[in-house]
Amino acid sequence: MDSANFPVFANLVLAAQCCIAAYMDFRHRQLPNFLCLSVFGTGIVAGLVTHDITWVGLSLAHAVLALLVGIALFAGAVIGGGDAKFYAALAVWLPLKYGFLMLGAVAVFGFILALAWFPLRARIAAMAPDPATAKEFRKVPFGLAIAAGGWFTYFVSTGLWGLQL
């Protein structure tokens, strides 16, 4: 594969990882560590292939900042630990200059998710694999919004739409 086609390949890899994460969070209410590490690792590789070490360094800064904020939100019981780790792993795909764009995209997708979720949450809770976990399944699986917002931001940032930022 030549480097000219790599952004398309990277987008497909990230899209697949985000779909897996969305499914895992929706169906099991978990964003496993191996998935977060996979997203993190492929983000580093994508940065090294398509950009330079400075870009990767700024992406790591974005990921560290996102993880620190995520830890604080987790400590306040605002989001789950998997959400914090997954957001930080996605952040490594984008340098710090895209931080607010990613945050905004995740917020917009989160708002759309919440609008759809609340009328359906009782039905979705009934799908819980174990009746004891039904209460957990009434909560919004925010990993869906993180996956959609993170992938959307990366997709726009690569310029494949002709919208290079």
Assess contact for 58 and 97: CB atoms under 8 A: yes
- 126 vs 25: CA distance, rounded Å: 16
Higher pLDDT, 53 or 162: 53
**CA quadruple 142, 145, 149, 155: dihedral, nearest 10:** 120
Compute the average pLDDT of residues 50-74.
95
- 136 vs 133: CA distance, rounded Å: 5
Compute the average pLDDT of residues 2-11.
77
Greatest CA separation for the chain = 51
Any idea what the Cα angle at residue 112 is, between residues 38 and 27, rounded to 5°? 45
Give this prediction's pTM.
0.90
Q: What is the pLDDT of residues 20-51, one digit of tens each?
A: 999 999 888 899 999 999 999 999 999 999 88
Assess contact for 92 and 62: CB atoms under 8 A: yes
pLDDT at 8: 85
Q: What is the pLDDT of residues 135-158, one digit of tens each?
A: 777 788 999 999 999 999 999 988
Q: The tokens 């994508």 sit on which residue? A: 46
Q: What is the pLDDT of residues 90-146, one digit of tens each?
A: 999 999 999 999 999 999 999 999 999 888 877 776 776 777 677 777 788 999 999
Residue 68 one-letter amino acid: L
Give the number of residues written for the chain.
165
Compute the average pLDDT of residues 54-81.
95
How is residue 45 written in tokens? 């590789």
